[in-house]
Structure 1
Amino acid sequence: MNIDWAALASVFGVSLVATVGLVGLFTLGVVGLSKQGSTAATTGAYACFAACAAAVAYGIWLIVA
């Protein structure tokens, strides 16, 4: 058995960056919703949640296709 370490490292790096990015985006959404009375923060929070949902849907589409 031969392991392609460069490909494994590449998959690990992309997975790490995507995970940290999505968690950060979701965190921004939660912080935006915690700002009571601010319409801009609420709109930004919903945009963050929509981007997270789109990224998850794209990932599912990649797996299924």
Structure 2
Amino acid sequence: MISIDWGAFALVFGISFAAAVGIVVFYALGLRLLSAGSPDDTGDDGAVVSGTRGARPLAATVGGYACLAIGVAAVLYSLYLIIPQFH
């Protein structure tokens, strides 16, 4: 009779879910940081700022690209773990 190790299954599920959520969060945060200063960005009062595009702060640019790089690195590392020819 085959027995399932439910503890190991739950562990794999939990880590996979956390990794997927982490990749999505970093991607979304990177896009948000890179869109800072765009015409559809909201002002301090929550109203949509109309007019020309403002300059994106350097910290937002660096942070946005860093978040996207973290997501890309996580995807590449997961492919490295999945494909046996890379080992």
TM over 0.5: yes
Residue in structure 1 matching 2:60, options 23, 41, 63: 41
Total equivalences in the alignment: 65
Matches within 5 A, 1:12-27: 12-27=13-28
Letter in 1 for 2:58: T
CA RMSD, 1 decimal: 0.9
Structure 1: state its 5+ residue gaps.
Answer: none
Structure 2, gaps ≥5 residues long: 38-54
Distance 1:50 1:21 in 2: 13
Find runs of 4+ consecutive structure 1 residues off by over 6 angstroms. none
CA distance in 1, matches of 2:30, 2:67: 5
Distance (Å, rounded) in 1 between the aligned partners of 2:24 and 2:14 = 15
Which is higher, the Rg of structure 1 or of structure 2?
Answer: 2
Aligned residue for 1:3, secondary structure, equals coil
TM-score (norm 2): 0.70
Name the amino acid aligned to 1:5: W
